[in-house]
Structure 1
Amino acid sequence: MKWRPFLFAVVVLAAGCGDEVVQEPAPVEEPVIEKETDVPSKVNLSSYFLKDGQIAHFVGEGNEFASYTARTVWHDDRHVTVYEDNGGTVMARTFRVEDERIVVVREEGEQYEDYVPSDGELESLKPLYTYLQLPLEVGQSFDGWTVTDDSSPLETPLQTFDHAVVLEKIGEDGSIARSYFAEGFGEVKREFVMDDFIVSSMIEQIEEPAR
């Protein structure tokens, strides 16, 4: 019978331990780490023109005027004139680079001398039409043009472009005009399609200005 007091003591001790409240350690809060999000950088529309004095040579197919040169002349950081010489005439287009679009403010054929605007003249010119407009994404439309591809691979005699932007306009007669643009170069290909008749021009060389 000597075991009973010992057993009773063990039971009492166990019961007493059962009444104790065990404090659980407070959860440790892990530091919140902000994840970096991919924020697209704003497109610099000035990069859709060549540098001042550079001349792009285009090789053409389909008619005798499909090959041409395009000479770029910057007037200031917002206005640039491109002279297209196809061997038959010279077309001069003056562009204004705005925050969200590029507009044509002057367009003259038979321009055999450089356009030299007077002070304040460029700012006074009204937009004739929109040349490019952000965002350059599929579905974007302006002045009859629609972006049909914003990351098209394009092989030209100059180089292969991995992410060309393709603009398309459909005429009332069913013809299709397409222009291909590459950042850092501007327009690198254009084509006109009417049934089985195709006229195309692709960039093949960039000539640096004479020193």
Structure 2
Amino acid sequence: MKKIQIIWIALLSLLLVTGCTNKTTGLDDSGNSGESTDPAKQEDESAVGKPGQYNETALSDYFLPDTSKAHFQGDENKIANLDIDYAQPYKNYVIVHESYNGTLTRYIYKIEENQIMQLNQRVVELKEDFPSLEEVEKMEPNGIYLKKPFEVGMRFDEWEIIETKVKVDTPYQTFENAFIIETKSKDAQIRKYFVEGFGEVKREKVMNTTDGDEVQENLELSSVTKP
């Protein structure tokens, strides 16, 4: 009788050890870890722009890579188009050239830990007209381009984040996780849509005319060229 009891105790102990081992290693009954091994699913789960991840993203990810180009098209019944060239000639500095209706404007930004400062904005003739690093380092900020945390109600300069986790359709693609910043004045209201890995993907501008009417202009990302 004692021998039978000893055998049962040994079997129960073995079952308990086996169960604990499976829990510790995360194995299921088939011996799998329970984690997805499907590359497509893993890529989807780690996709850039996952909801709620804005503030964990490097601010440099809100510009396209060095030497990239982006084209924005206007509404179908308008001829407005915007072309943007991105350059990162120096660490933590981004130089952007925007060509809009024949005017070329150069913007210089400095990427800091929690914000992107605008250092310079001027109309230029050539995209290659870069200032030297020494000249850039001496520039004083004249505004804030973006500032963390990217949460509704966050204000910087004349801008405010008014919405997050927004779906936005563009001719280039549909983005699932944009956030919107907005500025208002007596004569106009401007909204910009930002997406991690791209930066701006859409602009909306509503202007009030002297006649009391509203004129709206949209610019949406339609093509991207990366190095």
CA distance in 2, matches of 1:39, 1:83: 29
CA deviations on 1:146-200 (whole Å, 9 max, x unpaired) are 1011111001111111110100111123x21100000100011001113531101
Q: Give yes or no for the alignment of 1:204 onto 2:222.
A: yes
Q: TM-score, normalised by structure 2?
A: 0.70
1: CA distance, partners of 2:186 / 2:76: 21
The verdict on how the C-alpha distance between 1:123 and 1:65 changes in structure 2, with shifts beyond 3 A counting, is: farther
Letter in 2 for 1:178: R
SS at match of 1:114: coil
Residue pairs, 1:94-133, within 5 angstroms: 94-133=108-147
- Please tell me the root mean square deviation across aligned C-alpha atoms, in Å: 2.1
Note if contact 1:63-1:199 (Cα within 8 Å) is conserved in structure 2: no
CA contact (8 A) 2:166 2:179 kept: yes
Q: Does 1:134 align with 2:148?
A: yes
Bigger mean CA offset, 185-194 vs 63-72: 63-72
Gap change, CA 1:117 and 1:60, over 3 Å in 2: same
Helix, strand or coil at the partner of 1:46: helix
What is the aligned-residue identity percentage?
33
**Match for 1:187 among 200, 204, 216?**
200
Partners of 1:72 and 1:59 lie apart in 2 by 18
Pick which of 72-81 and 181-190 moved more. Answer: 72-81
The separation in 1 between residues aligned to 2:78 and 2:145, in whole angstroms, is 25
Deviation at 1:112, TM superposition (A): 2.0
CA deviations over 1:42-79 (Å, ceiling 9, x no partner): 22100000011110010012886631110001122200
Contact 1:146–1:168 (CA under 8 A) maintained in structure 2? yes
Give aligned pairs, total. 171
The ranges of structure 1 where at least 4 consecutive aligned residues each deviate by more than 4 angstroms after the TM superposition are 38-41, 62-65
Q: Does residue 84 in structure 1 map to residue 102 in structure 2?
A: no
Tell me the TM-score normalized by structure 1: 0.75
Q: Which has the higher helix share?
A: 2
| Of 41, 64, 72, the match for 1:58 | 72
Give the Cα separation in 2 of the matches to 1:64 and 1:82: 24
SS in 1 for 2:222: strand
Pick from 167, 179, 182: which aligns with 1:153? 167
1:177 aligns with 2:190: yes
Q: Which runs of 5+ in 1 are unaligned?
A: 1-37
Name the SS for the 1:61 alignment partner: coil
1:129 partner letter: G
